[in-house]
């Protein structure tokens, strides 16, 4: 095989293309779904990668910033990727339930609707970029749990899909929080 000075032999070119394609394929599952290093815990709460992943932008480093809260009563968490905060949530333990569909909470949502099919006793509301759930806990220090979630609209522009992603994440977050608290309900 002869090559000109500075050119790459055809066999090497083919190998480089195959290697590059394999590297790029590592960022995709073959169905156009890109992946990011998805954490399995968010500020100490275990949440499945299937619930978190769709809310994170592709190819970004994920930083977790625990928010202020009162020890044993409330806690917050912001997830940062680059200069964006794609997910923020807080949770509080309260003595009585709050209705996320109540008139006093309508200002927290865009196109609010009731969150359907909660896998635990409680009530939920879902908006275009946020969700709120009040769930029965039954623990001594936490008769009820309130979880608020807000997401960045830039990660997913399809509003219907974003709402589905928010609902899936919020339900998973509430279930994990209840488990961590030792909720009876």
> Are 1 and 73 in the same domain?
no
151 shares a domain with 66: yes
Q: Are 152 and 122 in a shared domain? A: yes
Q: For residue 55, with 0-12 CB atoms within 10 Å meaning exposed, 13-18 middle and 19 or more buried, which class applies? A: buried
- 29 and 56 share a domain? no
At 44 the pLDDT is: 84
Examine the domain organization and report whether 50 and 30 are in the same domain: no
Q: 107 and 136: one domain?
A: yes
Q: Are residues 141 and 152 in the same domain?
A: yes
pLDDT in tens, 41-62: 888 888 998 998 899 887 778 8
Which pLDDT value is given to residue 71?
53
Question: In the chain, how many domains are there?
Answer: 2
How far apart, in Å, are the Cα atoms of 24 and each of 18, 30, 55, 57, 95? 10, 10, 21, 17, 51
What domain range includes position 25? Answer: 1-35
What confidence category does residue 126 fall into, taking pLDDT thresholds of 50, 70 and 90? very high
Tell me, yes or no, whether 25 and 66 share the same domain: no
Quick one: 104 and 172 in the same domain? yes
For residue 36, what pLDDT is reported? 57
- Nearest CA to 41 out of 149, 180, 159 is that of 180
Cβ neighbours around 157 below 10 Å, total: 8
Give percent above pLDDT 70 in the chain. 76
d(CA 146, CA 104): 15
What local confidence, expressed as pLDDT, does residue 73 receive? Answer: 58
| Residue 180 CB contacts under 8 Å (≥ 6 apart), including other chains | 44, 45, 46
Q: Do residue 85 and residue 5 come from a single domain?
A: no
> pLDDT tens across 139-151, in order?
777 799 999 999 9
Largest Cα span, the chain: 81
Do 79 and 163 lie in one domain? The reply is: yes
**Distance separating the N- and C-terminal Cα atoms of the chain:** 74
Exposed / middle / buried, residue 143 (Cβ in 10 Å: 0-12, 13-18, 19+) = middle
Same domain? For 46 and 110 the reply is yes
């Amino acid at each position: 095989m002869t090559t000109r000075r500075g050119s790459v032999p055809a066999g090497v070119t083919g190998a480089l293309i195959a290697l590059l394609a394999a590297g790029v394929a590592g960022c995709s599952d073959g169905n156009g779904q890109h992946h990011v290093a998805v954490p399995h815990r968010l500020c100490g709460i275990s949440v499945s990668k299937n619930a978190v992943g769709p809310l994170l932008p592709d190819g970004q480093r994920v930083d977790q910033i625990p928010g202020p809260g009162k020890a044993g009563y409330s806690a917050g968490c912001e997830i940062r990727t680059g200069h964006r905060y794609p997910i923020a949530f807080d949770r509080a333990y309260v003595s009585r339930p709050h209705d996320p569909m109540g008139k006093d909470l309508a200002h927290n949502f865009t196109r609010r609707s009731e969150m359907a099919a909660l896998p635990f006793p409680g009530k939920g509301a879902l908006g275009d970029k946020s969700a709120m759930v009040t769930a029965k806990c039954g623990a001594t220090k936490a008769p009820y749990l309130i979880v608020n979630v807000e997401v960045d609209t830039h990660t997913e522009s399809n509003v219907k899909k974003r709402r589905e992603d928010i609902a899936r994440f919020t339900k998973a977050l509430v279930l994990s929080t209840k488990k961590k608290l030792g909720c009876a309900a």
